[in-house]
């Protein structure tokens, strides 16, 4: 059995950061409510100033700058490379993390997941023309950094993704064919499978 939902950026609910220093738009999650209890969660955050990140013990995080000049993270005392647009960076959610903005506010994209509960794979793709993918992940998420990305799953039209829209796909874990079409668009494919 396969189910798809096209999620629109205009409908994402906003919630405060766990540390109260900003706000996040939640795109989707598996279960739970509030800021704990989920197995995985996808969100967008607006970061207006340098400062500390919230701790998420028991979770892995993958963060990507969507807009702005970028940031540097200090994770448990180790400084990251300069993180610029569409350059993903992973770290342990329990780490002490300080963010230094390079030149003004940014918007970032976040996958937070429990590695004891899920295997995860995240990759950014540039789609020019048509791209065909096969995955046996039970959950696939396609996030569109820009608009104009058409998606088709196993021959069925899933609609067109606008800027920051997300296609949420649930399957029984069988090998499924996903086709993406665009003149030129950047998107993130996330594959999650329960352990």
Where are the chain's structural domains? Answer: 11-113, 118-194
Q: Is the dihedral of CA 152, 153, 156, 162 positive or negative?
A: negative
Would you state the pLDDT for residue 161? 97
Fold: same for 11-113 and 118-194: yes
- Digit-by-digit pLDDT tens for the chain (195 residues) are 789 999 999 999 988 777 666 678 999 999 866 666 799 999 999 998 899 998 899 999 999 999 999 999 999 999 999 999 999 999 999 999 999 999 999 999 999 999 999 999 999 999 999 999 999 999 999 999 987 899 999 999 999 999 999 999 999 989 999 999 999 999 999 999 999
Would you state the pLDDT for residue 33? 63
Domain made up of 118-194: CATH architecture: Sandwich (2.60)
CATH label, 11-113, candidates 2.60.40.420, 3.40.50.1970, 3.40.50.620, 2.60.120.10: 2.60.120.10
Would you state the pLDDT for residue 37? 78
159 contacts: CB under 8 Å, gap ≥ 6: 6, 150, 151, 167
Would you state the pLDDT for residue 54? 86
Which pTM does this prediction carry? 0.93
Would you state the pLDDT for residue 34? 60
């Amino acid at each position: 059995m396969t189910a798809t939902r096209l999620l629109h950026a205009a409908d994402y609910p906003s919630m405060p950061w766990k540390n109260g220093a900003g706000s996040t738009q939640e795109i989707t999650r598996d279960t739970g409510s509030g800021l704990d209890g989920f197995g995985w969660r996808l969100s967008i955050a607006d970061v207006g100033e340098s400062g500390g990140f919230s701790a998420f013990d028991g979770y892995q995080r993958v963060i990507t700058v969507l807009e702005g000049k970028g940031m540097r993270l200090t994770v448990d005392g180790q400084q990251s490379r300069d993180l610029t647009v569409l350059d993903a960076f992973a770290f342990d959610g329990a780490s002490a993390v300080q963010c230094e903005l390079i030149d003004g506010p940014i918007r970032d994209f976040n996958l937070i997941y429990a590695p004891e509960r899920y295997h995860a794979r995240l990759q950014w793709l540039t789609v020019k023309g048509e791209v065909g993918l096969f995955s046996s992940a039970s959950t696939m998420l396609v996030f569109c950094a820009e608009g104009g990305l058409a998606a088709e799953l196993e021959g069925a039209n899933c609609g067109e993704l606008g800027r920051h829209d997300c296609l949420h796909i649930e399957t029984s874990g069988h090998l499924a064919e996903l086709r993406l079409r665009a003149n030129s668009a950047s998107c993130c494919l996330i594959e999650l499978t329960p352990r």
